[in-house]
Amino acid sequence: MQQRHLIFFASLFTAISTTQINYFEAIANLPIVPGPVTIYDTLIILWTNVTDCPPPSCECVVQANVTTDNGTYTVEFSSMTPNIGSVNVSDLKPDTLYSFTLTCTGTDDNAARLIRTDYGRPSAPQNITVTLVSERLRISWLPPAVPNGPIHNYKLTRDRETISDKIPNSESSYDMTKDYVYGETDTFFLSACNINGKNDTVCSSPNDGKDLEPDTMYSFTLSCGGTDETITRHIRTVYGRPSPPRNITATLVSERLRISWLPHSVPNEPIHNYKLANDFPLPRIFRLWTNVTDCPPPSCECVVQANVTTDNGTYTVEFSSMTPNIGSVSVSDLKPDTLYSFTLTCTGTDDNAARLIRTDYGRPSAPQNITVTLVSERLRISWLPPAVPNGPIHNYKLIRDRETISSKIPNSESSYDMTKYYVDRETDTFFLSACNINEKHDTVCSSPNDGELAEQDAKLNMQNLAEGFIFLMNHSKLNISFNFYCSNHVKTDKDSDLSNSKCPITT
């Protein structure tokens, strides 16, 4: 039996850090954004990933073919994720194609995108007329002058009762189904509707192109030349958008928050209902809320003391001018899955409030000591758990050449066997990530750029290059590219595992 030899080789490259644009889209590739596509009718939020662009020496701007702000918008980068930035481009026209170009100092590279805004609210139908046809009313119209998208349907309302909200966009008239009663007074409203990219229906406003007030009675008198007869009608406009509720306050009642308010100053309608939304903080950020009475600024001030190292652990509470007794403070740069203490104190009182709060699970570091061995002619990938789990690891995910092999490897496993035989001289790129599931049920996995290339991994033997075993491992990306074989190889039954075969690794 011939003896085989396995030669181990790795190359070390020195890379010069330069600014690089990796991503530029109107899609938020972030778990903190509820709707990943951030394209609206008059607003587009663009997201970018730029590496090696330290502020303030490096800056990124977006140039757009719009008239506001000279079409130049500076990218804002987050202190939490310094390579992730965004820019808001507003005052856009619905259903309009815009061009956006991203440039950064430190690189001649750029990224350009053509993006069309979402469908918006159309203007009202034009030339609305009412005629009597075979004793029934016929409402006729022309399409909106400003459709802001392909009109989806029309909606007809009579005396605040919906007659039909599914009139096809191809129609230009509607016949009532009942005979008209002479002397009867009705108020009709016809609106044009679009359905935008988020499947929301947006219809023309009842006050579009008019100077009338909502929910207001007006009188209209028709007179014609050649007769002294006139016809007068009293018509009330439809409901409009109300102003916000007044004097919003939050109080603690039996350990629960109670939100109180006064009715709108300009209701524009008999209010139908109220809607309460909760402001969810971003991951790794605590937003603490407080209700403090009789604490007039600037003589009175409230601060939160936290057991964190940034800002000396002291944070000033910001109070709203609209709700002066309600304040909040944001504490950022926290560690995931970590218990913190927060103490609120205010001038003018010896009282304080203390809370112990644990941060949510975060993104784990990459699995450690990733190795690849050949077992029964199949590859086995082995690893150790992450050094910084940032929570109880939920599962592991294995990718080969951008194809997901398994995204549900249990957290109890420390190896994975490929199901197909290894093909000699085949080259594959693997990526193994560890994943947590946080309290919002979002999956956060280790980054491909986690960690640094260890010095000992760079000190690999450079000899026997021509004899042919190549095994490249880059811990900074946790990508394993390999192409290995043994010179003069004759397979035997003992060759099932490289670790105990006669094909030694030279390091």
Distance, in Å, from the CA atom of 450 to the CA atom of 466, rounded to the nearest integer, reads: 33
Per the structure, the complete domain to which residue 170 belongs is given by 125-211
458 membership: H or E segment, kind and range: helix 455-458
Out of 211, 226, 241, pick the residue that ends a domain.
Answer: 211
Q: Same structural domain for residues 411 and 383?
A: yes
Residue 249 corresponds to which tokens in the numbers above?
């306050």
Reported as a single tens digit per residue, the pLDDT across 424-469 is 767 777 788 999 988 878 888 887 655 433 322 222 222 222 222 2
Question: 423 and 460: one domain?
Answer: yes
In a domain, 498, yes or no: no
Q: Residue 138: which CATH number?
A: 2.60.40.10
Q: Which residues, in sequence order, are CB contacts of 506 under 8 Å at separation 6+? A: 6, 7, 8, 461, 463, 464
Q: Are residues 283 and 336 in the same domain?
A: yes
Beta-bridge partners for 193: 153, 203
Q: Is residue 504 part of a domain?
A: no
344 and 407 inside one domain: no
Give residue 460's pLDDT: 25
Q: Are residues 58 and 140 in the same domain?
A: no
- Do the Cβ atoms of 194 and 119 come closer than 8 Å? yes
Residue 30 in any domain: the answer is no
pLDDT tens profile 386-416: 999 999 999 999 888 767 888 889 999 999 9
Domain boundary among 464, 483, 498: 464
Q: Is 277 found in the same domain as 325?
A: yes
Q: Do residue 154 and residue 203 come from a single domain?
A: yes
Distance CA 82, CA 52 (A): 10
Provide the CB-side half-sphere exposure for 415 (13 A, CA). Answer: 13
Within-domain flag for 240: no
Measured between alpha carbons, how far is 406 from 414 in angstroms, rounded to an integer? Answer: 14
Please state, rounded to an integer, the average pLDDT across all residues of the chain. 75
Residue 84 lies in a domain: yes
Residue 224 has pLDDT above 80, yes or no: no
40: left (phi over 0), alpha (psi -120 to 50) or beta: beta
Report d(CA 96, CA 148) in Å as an integer.
8
For residue 162, which phi and psi values (nearest 5 degrees)?
-70, 120
Contact 130, 138 (CB under 8 A): yes
Contacts of 359 (CB under 8 A, 6+ apart): 284, 286, 334, 335, 336, 337, 338, 340
State how many domains the chain has.
4
- pLDDT tens figures, 98-148: 999 999 987 888 999 999 999 999 988 988 888 888 888 889 999 999 999
- Tokens standing for 187? 């108020």
For residues 55 and 139, membership in a common domain is answered with: no
CB-CB contact of 334 with 286 (8 Å): yes
What would the mean pLDDT of 287-295 be, rounded to a whole number? 81
* Cα of 475 vs its chain's centroid, Å: 29
What CATH number does residue 273 fall under? 2.60.40
Domain membership of residue 181 (yes or no) is: yes
CB neighbours of 90 closer than 8 A, spacing ≥ 6? 42, 43, 68
147 is a domain residue: yes
In a domain, 237, yes or no: no
> How many residues in the chain?
507
Torsion-angle region of 226 (φ positive above 0: left; ψ -120 to 50: alpha; else: beta)? left
* 146/204 same-domain check: yes
The pTM (predicted TM-score) of the whole model is 0.42
